Structure 1
Amino acid sequence: MRALLIGAVEGTRVAANAIAATPGWELAAIATLPPELAARHSDFVDLAPVAAHHGASLVPVAQCNAPAFLEEMRALAADIVFVIGWSQICGPEFRAAAGGRVVGYHPAPLPRLRGRAVIPWTILLDEKITASSLFWIDDGVDSGPLLAQRFFHVAPGETAGTLYAKHMTALDAMLRELLPQLAQGPVPGEVQDEAVATWATRRRPSDGQIDWREPAEQVERLVRAVGRPYPGAFTDAAGKRVTIWSARACACADRKHASPGQVVLRDETGFAVRCGDGRALHVLDFETAASGAPMLHSVLGGGA
């Protein structure tokens, strides 16, 4: 079985290794963003070494629905196209060029949380259980028949980084089970239940701006949701951006008279900022836009 893999992130690398390691499969090519477009994904991974290691062609592609790329797809004559870690919608011409056999991946328990930025949304929504999903791509968005799903718990202090890692482990396990099945013959998949479908909207880096009028627990959740490998939660101090990578809600502002956004504590581990509910956010890891060095004033921006 010949596979064409399309993507540009860690999940693409996981999929490449799984395909190449499965008997009966050949990783014919990896299509990915050219280096000059790497900024499209905050979690971009250079897949050139992966392709070279597995003897696969590396195909740079800016738009997967462009006629020139569709011609390359037809020439590759892959039995199945895997789209894993790719933010562009695969249109009808794309699916036709792939012979209608296109497998997609989504880090959510489909049909719940179709759409964009689902790892941050999983944390922001305080989901207790999530899943990784593999499915046949159809003419909808994350709506095709399910080929595999692996559920797991979301820890109380889950961060974008730890949740991302859990999804990569689940993706690897699912692929190593599914690939032999696909090689043996058609796998129709399970139709998704539209009655319980939900959709997650796109998030931009600007959505990481902290509003200190919010409760401390909610601000902490934002920090956890948009941290590495994403752009991070941020605020302003003296006109300079401060990105907060790690923090925890605490009661250290209980006896401090301050407004939301004011620094109420400094210690050897960091500093604390009063939030809208009277509690505080104890910031443990942060950097400034200028140099990465601490530069804090008594009042921070972002909604104070």
Structure 2
Amino acid sequence: MRTVFVGAVEGSLRALEALIASDLTPGLVVTIPPGKAARHSDFCDIAGPAAAAGSNVMLTDNINSQDTLREIEAFAPDLSLVIGWSQICQARFRAIPSIGTIGFHPAPLPAFRGRAAIPWTILADLPETAATLFWIDAGCDTGDIAAQIRIPLTPDETARSLYDKQVSMLARMLPETVTQIAAGNITRVPQDHSKASYCARRRPEDGRIDWSEPAPQIARLIRAVGDPYPGAWSEIDGNRITIRTARVHEGAPKYIGLPGQIQEIDDRTIRISCGGFTCLEVTAYQGDGGRPPARHAILGQRQPEAAR
């Protein structure tokens, strides 16, 4: 069976490695040029490992361009695997493989279709999710299910821990599914569209912290948009501070202050007042200013306009 693999992120590499380890090396691997790496916060070079395994490699920044489609058509694949690609696969691309195109979505389809499924899963405080392989069609994550594995979530789940769980399930499911397809055992379970939900796109600026919210809600945002994504952030004195890890401060001492006001700061932590007189304890952060903010300074406060 002739297979083309399309991807450009960390999960793509893990999936490709799992296929190679299972003697299912794709004949053609399509990925983005290194100069387009900024398109994905979790970009990962798959061209090198693919070439080393014997795959032909094609670089493109548009999976639907005429040149790209012609080259894939010349390869004449039976199956396409789109694992970690930001563009919609249009009709001509989907028509090329004789069997069809499999995609991956880190959510329990039909729920949580769309963008940024991992951050939204944590923000929604769900008890579980799923990893899903599905047949790509003209809709947004609407195709028949090829395989799905449930994933339980912990109360302190982070974007990184959930990303790793999803990639682990992907690396397990994909070789099994490709092997079954090659043997003619093709699974297609239609989605129940009445149970669909959709996740909206998230941008780096959506990680801005609103300090008037309670500390547990801010801590959840920090967990949801951290590594491998851009992170939760605030500003002080015109400089951005990205907060990597934090926890809700509970117990003594109690702090009374304005939302965003720094109550205590030392070499290990920063304690910051939040909405409802709650407090967040920041345990890792990165600042653009080169030095930590001062005690009693207020994060996120707009700077006064210059005198005219």
Q: Which one-letter code corresponds to 2:66 in the other structure?
A: P
Deviation at 1:303, TM superposition (A): 6.2
CA contact (8 A) 1:238 1:297 kept: no
Q: Which one-letter code corresponds to 1:125 in the other structure?
A: A
Which residue of the partner structure matches residue 196 of structure 1?
195
Q: Quote the Cα distance in structure 2 between the aligned partners of 1:207 and 1:272.
A: 23
Aligned to 2:150, the other structure's residue is in SS state strand
Match status 1:157 vs 2:156: yes
Aligned to 2:155, the other structure's residue is in SS state coil
Q: Which one-letter code corresponds to 2:220 in the other structure?
A: R
Deviations 1:154-193 (A, max 9, x none): 1110110111000011111111321211111151410000
Q: Which one-letter code corresponds to 2:298 in the other structure?
A: L
Deviations 1:200-219 (A, max 9, x none): 00000000000000010000
Aligned to 2:171, the other structure's residue is in SS state helix
Which residue of the partner structure matches residue 214 of structure 2?
215
Which residue of the partner structure matches residue 144 of structure 1?
143
Q: Quote the Cα distance in structure 2 between the aligned partners of 1:126 and 1:66.
A: 39
Unaligned runs of 5+ in 2: 303-308
Which residue of the partner structure matches residue 260 of structure 2?
261
> What is the correspondence of 1:68-217 to structure 2 with a 5 Å cutoff?
68-99=67-98, 101-217=100-216
TM-score by length of 1: 0.95
Q: Which one-letter code corresponds to 2:53 in the other structure?
A: H
Q: Quote the Cα distance in structure 1 between the aligned partners of 2:162 and 2:141.
A: 20
Deviation at 1:289, TM superposition (A): 2.1
Q: Quote the Cα distance in structure 1 between the aligned partners of 2:182 and 2:229.
A: 35
> What is the correspondence of 1:35-46 to structure 2 with a 5 Å cutoff?
35-46=34-45
Change (3 A) 1:254 1:215: farther
Q: Quote the Cα distance in structure 2 between the aligned partners of 1:155 and 1:163.
A: 9
Q: Which one-letter code corresponds to 2:300 in the other structure?
A: G
Q: Quote the Cα distance in structure 1 between the aligned partners of 2:277 and 2:266.
A: 19
CA contact (8 A) 1:159 1:227 kept: yes
CA contact (8 A) 1:78 1:98 kept: yes
Task: Please report the RMSD computed on the Cα atoms of aligned residues, expressed in angstroms.
Answer: 1.7
Match status 1:299 vs 2:294: no
Aligned to 1:259, the other structure's residue is in SS state coil
Identity %: 43
Deviation at 1:99, TM superposition (A): 3.7
Number of residue pairs matched? 302
Deviation at 1:134, TM superposition (A): 0.1
Runs of 4+ aligned residues of structure 1 deviating over 4 Å after TM superposition are none
CA contact (8 A) 1:27 1:54 kept: no
Q: Quote the Cα distance in structure 1 between the aligned partners of 2:175 and 2:187.
A: 18
Q: Quote the Cα distance in structure 2 between the aligned partners of 1:28 and 1:252.
A: 59
Aligned to 2:16, the other structure's residue is in SS state helix
Match status 1:244 vs 2:226: no
Unaligned runs of 5+ in 1: none
